[in-house]
Chains A and B, each alone.
Chain A
Amino acid sequence: MEKEFDSATGAELSREEFTTVMTALEPDQLISAKERHHCPRRQLTRTEMALFWALRIYLVFMVGVVVYQIWTSVR
């Protein structure tokens, strides 16, 4: 029969539980590891920055179009 697992509730981990976690998860899957190591910030190139801004302006403009459409429809 398949082994059923239950989350432990004690204050300290048993050695078996610890072994299960360390063998089953990849090191960077641990929550504590994710909190310690963050992905470094990426330096955006001018082209990337221009693309970000262009699409942001596109979105703001298009939201304006949607608002305009609602306004004309209501009118």
Chain B
Amino acid sequence: MARTNAGSGRRMPGGDVVITHEDIDRAHDRERVSETRARRGFRPRLRLFWLLIGPGILVMLGENDGPSMLSYAATGARFGVGFFLPFVALTFLMACVVQEMTVRLGAATHRGHAELIFERFGPFWGWFSMIDLMVGNFLTLVTEFIAIRAGLGFFGVRPWVAVLGALLVLNFALMTHRYWTWERIILGAAMFNLAFVPVALLAHPHWGEIGRALATGRPLPGGLTQEMVMILLANIGATVTPWMLFFQQSAIADKGLTTRDIRFGRVDTVLGAALASIAALATMVATAPLFLHHMTAANFEAAEFAQALQPFVGHWGAALFALGMFEAGMVAAITISTSSAYAFGEVARRPHSLNLPFKQGKSFYLVLLLEAAAAAGLVLVPGIPLVYIVLLVNVIAVLAMPPALLFLYMLVNDREIMGELISPLWANVLALGVVTVLIGAGLLFGLSVIAPNALALVGGR
């Protein structure tokens, strides 16, 4: 029989209620929230905001990961900014729609996503969803270490040193054994995602062109080709992926947010999306000079992008770009491996919280570290087709989203667990719109691979 979390807890003398270490830490965090909420004025409101934000920003900046930034860089370099700036901004709106549902679900049920799927739909469908998550997460983790290796490679760091160093950083963040501290450290690190903004400024962008692209949009450059479909899918997969659903809901439960905090959870998510979209758009703007100077960038890796950009953004700009790639991989490696560990703990009914000391959360921490170590090890194997893996990861993420979204849609409309917090009509219409776009994009990709000539039937060539 699985050892329960409560088994490691303590009882009130003469009482029946079992209180765990995790409960005590969470209660302390919640007490600070309650005390702050009781005060009036601007500063307490600001402090309340500071106390309650986190999962939304982390998930959005976490998804601006190695393959995502590489996709944005490749897009800017291959196609410029005309069509793709508004397109990518739109994908972040899609991410907001999807992630808002996890905020309500986590705050209403205090349970993680995997746990709810297993309990409400049973293990048969639960395992399908877990397999999708674990396979996707592992492949994505491999790409995060590719980004880490490539980013630090720009500075002459050897691959094994870069990968080992990243594993040590990941381990260091976990050593706090406290959700709050962990969240603040990773939030601080995630802000370096904005390093792409100064790089974009150093590239001396054409502001008029950017303004026109954002305000009116531009036609798809070169029409609908197989390569274009792949790029479109990679950009969608760069903002909406299954691990985000699992991570944000579990993080909200771990942080202890309640239904009273949903408004802040929404602001947190929108703020995260805004920051992430700024970084994403900046990356495209930064690599646009490669497009303007007709440089072939089809098979660039992260470090090669930095080197190629050097004539346009200078040494410091290129160094910032490489550092941004390292940060993108590092933060995502931490958040994605955490989402796997949460899901494993929820399904295996093992303790799963960043508030746990190592001894009590051994399985949680081991899953997290072992998954990251396996992915890191794979990156060091000579001859592995790293570029392929990077390209495919975002595509696979888009393909795996519709089944994951169906679970989410059904859960968030389940009155038995959501009560009055079930999705309103407008949220359902938006969610179904996102599912339709994702399935449409997936089918278009299938068509482009199986029958490339048939793209002409849908306006391509």
CB of B441, distance to nearest CB on chain A (Å)? 11
Any A CB within 8 A of the CB of B279 = no
Q: Is the CB of B11 within 8 A of A66?
A: no
Q: Mark B340-351, 1 if CB is under 8 A from A, else 0.
A: 000000000101
Q: Is the CB of A32 within 8 A of B10?
A: no
Residue tally, chain B, CB below 8 Å to A: 59
Q: Is the CB of B110 within 8 A of A20?
A: no
Any A CB within 8 A of the CB of B24 = yes
Chain A residues positioned under 8 Å from B416 (CB to CB): 39-40, 42
Chain A residues positioned under 8 Å from B18 (CB to CB): 31-32
The CA of A35 and the CA of B24, in the complex, are separated in Å by 17
Q: Please tell me which one of the listed residues B13, B121, B402, B449 contacts residue A68 in the complex, with CB atoms under 8 A apart.
A: B449
The CA of A69 and the CA of B402, in the complex, are separated in Å by 21
Chain A residues positioned under 8 Å from B125 (CB to CB): 52
Q: Is the CB of A63 within 8 A of B20?
A: no
Chain B residues positioned under 8 Å from A26 (CB to CB): 110, 258
Considering only residues 99-157 of chain B, those with a C-beta below 8 Å from chain A are: 109-111, 116, 119-122, 125, 128, 132
Q: Please tell me which one of the listed residues A10, A15, A25, A51 contacts residue B406 in the complex, with CB atoms under 8 A apart.
A: A51
Main secondary structure of the interface of A (DSSP, over half): helix
The residue in chain A whose Cβ has the minimal distance to the Cβ of B178 is: A7
The CA of A7 and the CA of B400, in the complex, are separated in Å by 40
CB of B107, distance to nearest CB on chain A (Å)? 10
Interface centre among A39, A40, A73, by most B CB within 10 Å?
A39
The residue in chain B whose Cβ has the minimal distance to the Cβ of A49 is: B125
Main secondary structure of the interface of B (DSSP, over half): helix
Q: How many residue pairs, one in A and one in B, have C-beta atoms under 8 Å apart?
A: 140
Q: Is the CB of B258 within 8 A of A66?
A: no
Q: Is the CB of B28 within 8 A of A5?
A: yes
* With A30-B23, A39-B109: A48-B410 Cβ-Cβ less than 8 Å: yes
A39-B416, A40-B119 given; name 19 further pairs at CB < 8 Å.
A7-B25, A11-B10, A13-B24, A20-B24, A21-B19, A21-B23, A21-B24, A24-B28, A29-B26, A30-B17, A34-B111, A39-B417, A41-B120, A52-B403, A52-B406, A55-B402, A56-B128, A58-B403, A61-B446
Instruction: Please give the residue numbers on chain A whose beta carbons come within 8 Å of chain B beta carbons, in ascending order.
Output: 2, 5, 7-8, 10-13, 15, 17-18, 20-26, 28-32, 34-35, 38-42, 44, 48, 51-52, 55-56, 58-59, 61-63, 65-66, 68-70, 72-73
27 interchain pairs, CB-CB under 8 A = A10-B10, A13-B11, A13-B13, A13-B19, A18-B17, A20-B27, A21-B19, A24-B26, A24-B30, A25-B27, A26-B258, A28-B110, A30-B19, A32-B9, A32-B17, A32-B18, A34-B111, A40-B119, A40-B416, A41-B121, A48-B410, A55-B403, A56-B128, A59-B403, A63-B396, A65-B449, A68-B449
